[in-house]
Chains A and B, each alone.
Chain A
Amino acid sequence: MKDVGRNPLGTVLPAAIILICMMGFLFSPNDPFHVDMSMRFLPPTMQFPFGTDHMGRCILSRILEGGKITLGIVLIGASIVFVLGMIMGILFGQIKSGKGFLLDSVLNAVTALPPIAYLIVFIGAWGNGVFTMIFAVTISLLLRLIKLVKSETEIELTKAYVLSAVAAGVSKPKLLLFHVAPNVTQDALHYICLSCADLIMVITGFSFIGLGLGDNVIDWGMMVSESRNFVLTYPGIMIYPVAFILLSTFSLNLLAREIEKRGEIHA
């Protein structure tokens, strides 16, 4: 009964697209940094499947390398956030009401700032770079997820099944691990997937305006930015990275929707 009306493709396809965007650099046909001024603006060929850009570099290889960086930052950040956020959120959530006042206030104050504000502050303080980006992304998401998981935990703990579990004599760690955590996971994952899609836009947006990941690091936003001057004559240079940005954010949104649907079965 559980799988009625669900197409496994709905989860597998977006996950595969994200995986290809992230791990594709392993199979890139050319060196993404190799400049050859004699090969500028080549149309797609067997050697350069998406053609070459204004410096004669292979566009496909650059897109795959850019995917590694952009999605790498997002996914590493997201995994750290998920693990820490779940643990801390659940632990904070079971503090008796009244005692957590200070914590509540701090969380509320800190999450009132939009994530972009954190990115600007950290980039301003430490200069641009991949690790600054990972750090800023992690911090800005982590606090929000802790807040989400914390309030979800508080709600779960008042539900009748938790009381029944306690009445059947389950210990507190077991209760949190086997009953509360699985029931909170779905919303946390859903939130993370949507935030990842947002973060891809934020990271590409920042590097588009030049606050990116530093010199010599390829990412999709920078590719779009570099191709601005040639977009009328050689639109492919811009269309390919934009298509990949679209595809990956779309896949993450699809995944989020799929996670949401999966939860409805149990409701």
Chain B
Amino acid sequence: MLEVQNVSVFTGNGLPLLRNITFSLGPGEILGLTGESGSGKTTLIKSIMGILPKSCRLVSGKILANNIDLTALTSGEHRKLCGTHLGFVPQSPMTAFDSRIRLGTQITETLRLRLGLSPTTATELARQQLFAVNLSDSTRIMESYPSQLSGGMLQRVAIAILMALQPSYILADEPTSALDTVNRDLLLNLLQNQVSRSGILMISHDIAALKALCKTVMVMENGAITEKGSMEQLLLSPCRKWTKEFAAAYRLPEKEDWLWTEY
């Protein structure tokens, strides 16, 4: 069980980024998180992972992962849980890798460090996982530097690493932002399969994906969770202004090919 209880995060000069966030995520559950840009979605994931920027502080609240209070851990202890217990898919794939190291090295190093594998088994596992995310040309991928691949490919590499690590909780920050439809569907399938082993918190603006995967979706506004419910429910009866606009924008293309306008 990953439990976030009354978490508040402030910037160094006292502005609130997160206000009293509370939710829990059990294994076998996919929780959606959506909301305006800048509403604090990424900050929430960063505070769970313990990678808040130096200028931000977690002021109050607890984050419990399997009854271990993450906020009470030293950063060293926190890091030991990262990767194995808590997995993270970064938002911008282009900057998520070290530009000076070949991808193969970055993947296998992570697997060796976190799973204690030997170099050959790590390479073998890396190839399998790259194949699973539809990157069949694994030799070329592993020989490449991050700047030589596209955003979508890097995003899939990041997912491949995560799937190899098999963390108990996956925090995915817009995992499909750079993917084409085929690979997006593939990735959503992968996440769906993963759910038997892990709990997943997925940030997304993709209504179809949220609808298909998540039983519960939370909407964030100005650092607070303002609405919570299934996607259908949110689309049918949105309460807040942002959710209404969001729902309206989704319905728009389904209308006839002409629009009512007032005269």
Contacts and interface: CB of A to CB of B under 8 A. Distances in A.
Interface of A: 1-2, 96-98, 158-161, 163-172, 174, 178-179, 182-183, 265-267
B76 A168 contact: no
A267 B147 CA distance: 7
Nearest to A94: B54
A267 B75 CA distance: 30
A267 B100 CA distance: 9
Interface of B: 12, 46, 49-51, 53-55, 75-76, 79-84, 86-88, 90-92, 95-101, 110, 113-114, 145, 147-148, 158, 161, 165
Contacts of A159: 95
Given A179-B98, A266-B145, A164 B158 contact: yes
Nearest to A161: B98
A180 B138 CA distance: 27
Contacts of B12: 97-98
B76 A172 contact: yes
A114 B206 CA distance: 56
Nearest to A266: B99
Given A169-B82, A267-B99, 15 more contacts: A97-B55, A160-B90, A161-B98, A163-B49, A164-B88, A167-B82, A167-B83, A168-B82, A168-B83, A168-B165, A169-B84, A170-B113, A171-B79, A183-B99, A265-B147
A177 to B, nearest CB: 12
B97 A2 contact: no
A265 B144 CA distance: 12
A178 B55 CA distance: 24
A172 B82 CA distance: 13
Nearest to A167: B88
Contact of A97 (B54, B84, B97, B100): B54
Contacts of A167: 49, 51, 82-83, 86-88, 90
B83 A169 contact: yes
Contacts of A2: 145
B90 A183 contact: no
Given A168-B114, A169-B83, A171-B76, A161 B55 contact: no
A211 to B, nearest CB: 43
Contacts of B161: 168
A166 B90 contact: no
Contact of B96 (A97, A98, A160, A178): A160
